[in-house]
Amino acid sequence: MEAYTLERWQRVAPTYGTVERFIERRVFGPWRSRIWSLVRGDHVLEVAVGTGSNMPFYPPGIHVTAFDISSARVGRARQRAQMLGLDVDLRVMDAERLEFPTGGFDTAVATWVLCSVPDAVAALRELGRVVKPKGQILLLEHVRVDAPVIGRLMDWLDPWAVRRGAGHINRHTVETVRQAGLEVERVEDLALGGLVKLIVAWVPSTAGAGQEGAWTGID
């Protein structure tokens, strides 16, 4: 992943949770609750855990492995896990190059991630590798609005948004999921004319054929 991406997340890690807090409860919280309610299976991967904002919504009884490219954010997520009494396997890792064997997770969850990954297709293909065939990939993302004026405005503002640390604001994420070879089961428009989408995808049964078996979570 680009060095700039890592530097940006390391820089904003100390204040990231504070900046979000005023809208977490009323806006992000219900969306997070919704996506985690769809989780299936016992072994779940959270992509780009950040400071641990999703942790209060983890379903009981599952084993969560979570990672982030920023060691500073992983440190804050570890503190939150301890406060909540959660046993989470936290790691520092690049979403484009996952260090997990093939087919070890039942579900992968990513919230507000693909806007910031330099190569979203590569990251999604990695998720398709480490999630077992017919397993779920659940995404909560902001995307380019499919409207002529607003869409063009988002294209024009995108370089400024990236420089400000907001990630890309004009990505066609549903199409990117399909481009990565995943099957899209459904897409839910959550707000603002399709700006925010919940994407439910799954890994085709042929994915990972001939590769080694499932990861047990124990190295």
| Number of neighbouring beta carbons within 10 Å of residue 219 | 8
Measure the CA–CA gap between 209 and 94, rounded to whole angstroms.
24
Phi, psi of 178 (to 5 degrees): -65, -40
CATH number of 3-202: 3.40.50.150
Residue 158 φ/ψ, nearest 5 degrees: -55, -45
Count other Cβ atoms within 10 Å, centred on residue 45.
26
Does the model's pTM come out above 0.85? no
Q: Where are the domains of the chain?
A: 3-202
pLDDT by residue for the chain (219 residues), tens only, comes to: 455 455 544 555 555 555 566 667 667 899 999 999 999 999 999 999 999 999 999 999 999 999 999 999 999 999 999 999 999 999 999 999 999 999 999 999 999 999 999 999 999 999 999 999 999 999 999 988 888 888 889 889 888 888 887 788 899 999 999 999 999 999 999 987 889 999 999 999 875 543 444 444 433
